[in-house]
Amino acid sequence: MPENVIQNSAQLQSPVKKTSKLANIYKFRELGLLAFIVILSLAVQLRNPSFLSGENINDMITNTAILSILALGMMLVLVTRGIDLSIGSTIAFSGMIVAQAVSANQNLNPFVVILLGIVIGMACGAVNGILIAKVGLLPIIATLAMMNIYRGVTFKISGGEWISSYQMPESFVSIATGKTFGINNLIVIAIVIYLLFYYLINHTRTGRQIYAVGSNPDSAKVSGIKEGRILLLVYTIMGGFAGLSGVLWVSKFASAQGDTASGYELTVIAACILGGVSIAGGSGKISGIILGSVLLGILNNALPLLNVSPFWQTGIQGLIILVAVIINTLVKRGVDRNNLMRRKI
């Protein structure tokens, strides 16, 4: 066999080997995160026997459902090397409009309410996408500006007033508090979204293009992928999830106010980082998102049970996030160094 053919064959095989190594590293990292979750749960159980009770576990999963939905959308944004700081404001904006709608029309169908929230969120996300993909603003600048705009509009349309539970019909409140086949609706909605999302990422051309744009934008352009269209799609999906979460949030807490979900975007980003999503783009898995969301859910539930001060709770969460980022950085640096040493000169 000619020498150049052998070299070309080796070059074609090397990406496959690299992908396999990365997959093994991601699997190892996820197993480590799972082990940490198990150890943490057992440790908390020893201090408070009610932690692993069926009722408390159900509460943890229910409380984590909205976070996990938002983390899916944020994963796509981070995969494309972007960020969305406006989702907390979008939640408040969507939730306020929906709350006003159901308080004015008590007979409004719950499915129409959910659709309304999603459409509002998608519109907000599309504005972000246009500013980033068409105007050319940096994601952090565009979404930071829209974060303040959406929040300001929310306060304006609400007149600074709250909409409380007594103004909302039972059909609306039951969206988040009701059950389907004995399972809380929030959990059911999250499961359905995760299944659809899994199909999008792993079995569609669009899913592959999203990762291609994040991995290497220049190569993606050369291969014919329209980066602007992908970015617009990603931010619109993120907005749709935020709009849906606004409906679920107001339904769950039976209250709509101007400062709803203030700062929540940082919690969502933290869940993604803990789940192994790279801020540099190009990598992220649904299984990691689930684990990252579950870990934050456990911390939010366990620390109060252990009578930890609220001020320390924030500090502990920040420390865990910092450790996760450091580990991810060291793992990536090790992979890059290993690939460099194996590269033929």
168 vs 332: CA distance, rounded Å: 49
> pLDDT at residue 97 above 80?
yes
Residues 6+ apart with CB under 8 A from 268: 67, 70, 71, 74, 87
Confidence of residue 335 (pLDDT cuts 50, 70, 90): low
Give residue 8's pLDDT.
40
Which pTM does this prediction carry? Answer: 0.86
Task: For residue 184, report the phi and psi dihedrals to the nearest 5 degrees.
Answer: -55, 140
The token pair that represents 212 in the structure block? 């291609």
* Per-residue pLDDT reduced to its tens digit, 120-132: 999 999 999 999 9
33 vs 298: CA distance, rounded Å: 13
The token pair that represents 252 in the structure block? 């769950």
Classified as helix, coil or strand, 282 is coil
Give residue 166's pLDDT.
82
Give residue 5's pLDDT.
38
3 vs 17: CA distance, rounded Å: 21
Residues 6+ apart with CB under 8 A from 325: 273
Among candidate residues 263, 283, 271, the one with its CA nearest the CA of residue 321: 271
Give residue 90's pLDDT.
96
Q: Which residue has the tokens 């997959």?
A: 23
Task: For residue 260, report the phi and psi dihedrals to the nearest 5 degrees.
Answer: -55, 135
* % the chain with pLDDT above 70: 87
Residue 254 zone, left/alpha/beta (φ > 0; ψ -120 to 50; rest): left
> Helix axis angle, 310-342 relative to 264-274, nearest 10°?
40
Across 40-55, average pLDDT: 88
Confidence of residue 326 (pLDDT cuts 50, 70, 90): confident
Between 213-217, 300-304, 324-328, the lowest mean confidence (pLDDT) is in: 324-328
The mean predicted confidence, pLDDT, of the chain is 85
* Per-residue pLDDT reduced to its tens digit, 264-315: 998 999 899 888 888 877 778 898 899 999 999 998 888 888 888 887 888 8
